[in-house]
Amino acid sequence: MFDSNLPARWRKLLLAGISLLLAAVIRIVDLQNLPNGLHWDEMDTGYQANSLFRTGKDYFSNPLPLFPHSFADYRTPVYIYSAVPIIAKLGLSAVSVRFVSVIWGLLGIILIYLLTKDWIAPAVVALSPWHVQYSRKAVETISLSTLFLAALACFLRGLRHPRWLILSGLFFGLSMAAYSPGKLFIPLFLIVLIFIYRKSLIKISSIHLLASIISFSLIAVPVGLDSIFGKSGTRFHDVAVFTDPTRAFEINLRRLDTALSSGQSRKVGLKTSAFAKLLDNKIIDITTTIANSYLQTFSTEFLFIKGDPEPRHSPSKNTIGQLHLPEILPLIIGLYHLPAVLIPWILLSPIPAALTRDGGNHAARLLIMFPAFAWVITLGIRRLQKIHPLLSIFYFLVFMGSSFYIFGYYFTHYRFESAQPYQWGFSQMAKLAYSKAGQYDRVILDFGSDSALMAYLFTNKIPPRKLNFSKQILNTETPDLGNIYLLPPGSRSWSDIVTQKLLSGRNLVIAAANTLPNPGVVPAPTRIDYPNSQPAFYTFEINQ
C-alpha cells in the first residue's frame, strides 16, 4: 500500500494523518444539525463567549471571571474562553460554538499519537462513538480530556528534557479548570504519578521542578480555593451523592421494612431498633452508592452494549455502547501489558463521577478515562498481530463493520432521537417570536418545563447585558424584553387563559406541544413537528 522504502516513522505519521483526516470529516459533516438542535448549555457557552468578546465581561457583568456566571451555574472557564476567537471570527451560531469541540477533539487525537507513538491509537479515537459524541457538541469535558493528554505528554517528555515539566504543570492546572471532575482527578493522579516516577524526578534540577510547581499552582490554587470556599462548587453540591435529598426517606423506609419483618406491628411512633440503625444508615448507604457507581463504570452494559442512558451523552437511546463491541477483545488482551501510567489513570478517573448521582454511567464526567482505554485497545491490537496476523485482519474487518453500523445509525436514526433532548425547535421558535414582535401587542413564548430565555438571547443575538426582571404577564417573573414574554418553566392552562380572558389586545402564543393536551380549545392552532413528525410546538393567536 505504501512505498516500502519510506521510513517507518514517516509511514506511521502518514497513517496517523489519514486517521486525523477521517476524524475531521466525521466530526464536521452536518455539524449544525447533528445533534439535532442546540441545547441550553451549548447556547449558554456561546452566549458567554460572545459576551466576553464584546464586553470583556460575562453576561452578569463580571470582568474576565475565573468562573463565568451563568443563569443556572458558575461555568468552568477553559472551553468558554477558547470559544471567544472562534465566535469572534464566525459569529454566534451552532456551527461556531460546536466547532470549538471539533478543534479540541482533533488536538486530542494528535496528542494520543504523541503519547503512544502508534498510528493505531489515533484511528481508535477517530472512530470512537464516545469521542465523536463529545467532539460534536459544545461541552467542557472534551477540553479536560485534551488538556490532560497534553499535560501527560509534556510530563513524560520532561523526564528527559526537564523544561517540558513547566508546560506540564501549566496543562495540569488548566485541566483542573477545564471541567469539574478534573478538580479531584488531577490532584489524585499527580500524587500517584510523582510516586511512580520519583526516582527520575529526584535527578531533575530543583529549578525546573520549582518552575513546574509554580506554573501548576498559578491556576490550580485559585481553582481549588474557589471550588471549596467560593461559588463554583455549587454544581457539585447539587449533584453529589452526599446531598441527595431522597436518602433519609429511603433509609427510613428500609428501617420500617426491617421492623415489620421482625414481627412488629405497623403503628405511629414505631421505634427504630439498634439493629435497623446498624443495617441501614447514611454511611453504609453513601458508601454502597459510591461503590456501585464506581463499578458500573466498568460494566459491559455501559462500555459496550447500551452506553449512557441519557440521549445527549450517547449516540443512541440504548443500542450503542461508549466503545465498539468488538473492542472488548483487544481491551482485555491489552490489560496484560500496561504501562505503569495507565493503571492509576484507569483506576482513579471514575472516582469524581462516582461521587455524583448517577455518575457511574455519566459519559461526560467519565470521558477523561476514554484515552486510557484507547491506549489499552491499541496495545491489545498490537498483541493480536503478534499472536497471528490473520487475527488482526479479522478484527479489522469486524471493527469496520461495527463502525459502519454505529455511524450509519448516528447520521440517520440519531437525527430523530436527539431532537427532543437537544431542544430542537427552541431556536426556530425564538427567531419566530423576534420577527413577529412588531405585529402583536404581545408575543408569548411558553416552552413548558424548559426556559426559552437562552434560546431567545442566543438565536436573536441580543446584546449582552444584565437582564432586569420585573412582574409581568400572568403573575410570573419574566425578563424585560419589550412585548416579548418568556414564561418561566412550569405548567399552566391555556384553556383557562383563553376562556377567562386574562389577556387583552392582540397576542401571539408559541407554546410547547406538551402544554396543550387538547389543542382544540385554543383558537386555530398551527402545529410544528419534530423531525420524526411528532408534535413539538403550537402557535396561535388570542385576540381579546
In this structure, the answer to whether residues 458 and 401 fall within a common structural domain is: no
391-to-169, 304, 337 alpha-carbon distances in Å:
41, 21, 18
Give the domain-ending residue among 388, 417, 446. Answer: 417
Instruction: Work out the angle between the directed axes of helices 141-158 and 164-178 (0-180°, nearest 10).
Output: 160
In this structure, the answer to whether residues 412 and 430 fall within a common structural domain is: no
**Number of domains present in the structure of the chain:** 3
How far is Cα 366 from Cα 388, in angstroms, rounded to an integer?
34
Confirm whether 3 is domain-assigned: no
Give the domain-ending residue among 417, 435, 468. Answer: 417
In this structure, the answer to whether residues 49 and 135 fall within a common structural domain is: yes
Predicted confidence at residue 472, as pLDDT, reads: 46
Sorted by sequence, the CB contacts under 8 Å of residue 100 that are 6+ apart come out as 79, 82, 83, 86, 138
Confirm whether 436 is domain-assigned: yes
Residue ranges of the chain with pLDDT lower than 50? 1-2, 469-473, 475, 477
Strand 442-446: give its sheet, edge to edge: 484-486, 442-446, 506-512, 535-543, 526-529
How far is Cα 82 from Cα 80, in angstroms, rounded to an integer?
5
Confirm whether 413 is domain-assigned: yes
In this structure, the answer to whether residues 51 and 173 fall within a common structural domain is: yes
Contact 540, 523 (CB under 8 A): yes
Q: Decide: helix, strand or coil at residue 67.
A: coil
How far is Cα 249 from Cα 14, in angstroms, rounded to an integer?
59
How far is Cα 127 from Cα 27, in angstroms, rounded to an integer?
10
Contact 69, 58 (CB under 8 A): yes
Confirm whether 64 is domain-assigned: yes
102 grid coordinates: 471539533
Confirm whether 168 is domain-assigned: yes
In this structure, the answer to whether residues 345 and 231 fall within a common structural domain is: yes
In this structure, the answer to whether residues 272 and 389 fall within a common structural domain is: no
In this structure, the answer to whether residues 377 and 310 fall within a common structural domain is: yes
Confirm whether 1 is domain-assigned: no
In this structure, the answer to whether residues 257 and 324 fall within a common structural domain is: no
How far is Cα 417 from Cα 532, in angstroms, rounded to an integer?
9
In this structure, the answer to whether residues 145 and 17 fall within a common structural domain is: yes
Which residue type, as a one-letter code, is found at position 229?
F
Predicted confidence at residue 467, as pLDDT, reads: 61
In this structure, the answer to whether residues 228 and 255 fall within a common structural domain is: no
Confirm whether 225 is domain-assigned: yes
Q: What is the per-residue pLDDT across 305-360, written as a single tens digit (0 to 9) for each?
A: 999 999 899 888 888 999 999 999 999 999 988 899 999 999 999 999 999 988 88
54-to-66, 74, 99 alpha-carbon distances in Å:
17, 20, 20
Give the domain-ending residue among 257, 280, 303. Answer: 280
In this structure, the answer to whether residues 333 and 455 fall within a common structural domain is: no
Give me the domain span that covers residue 102.
Answer: 8-31+39-238+294-417
380-to-4, 14, 116, 387 alpha-carbon distances in Å:
25, 22, 13, 10
In this structure, the answer to whether residues 337 and 455 fall within a common structural domain is: no
Question: What is the rounded end-to-end Cα distance, in angstroms, of the chain?
Answer: 75
Predicted confidence at residue 519, as pLDDT, reads: 67
How far is Cα 229 from Cα 117, in angstroms, rounded to an integer?
42
Confirm whether 397 is domain-assigned: yes
Q: How much helix, strand and coil, in percent to the nearest 5, is found in the chain?
A: 60, 10, 30
Predicted confidence at residue 471, as pLDDT, reads: 44
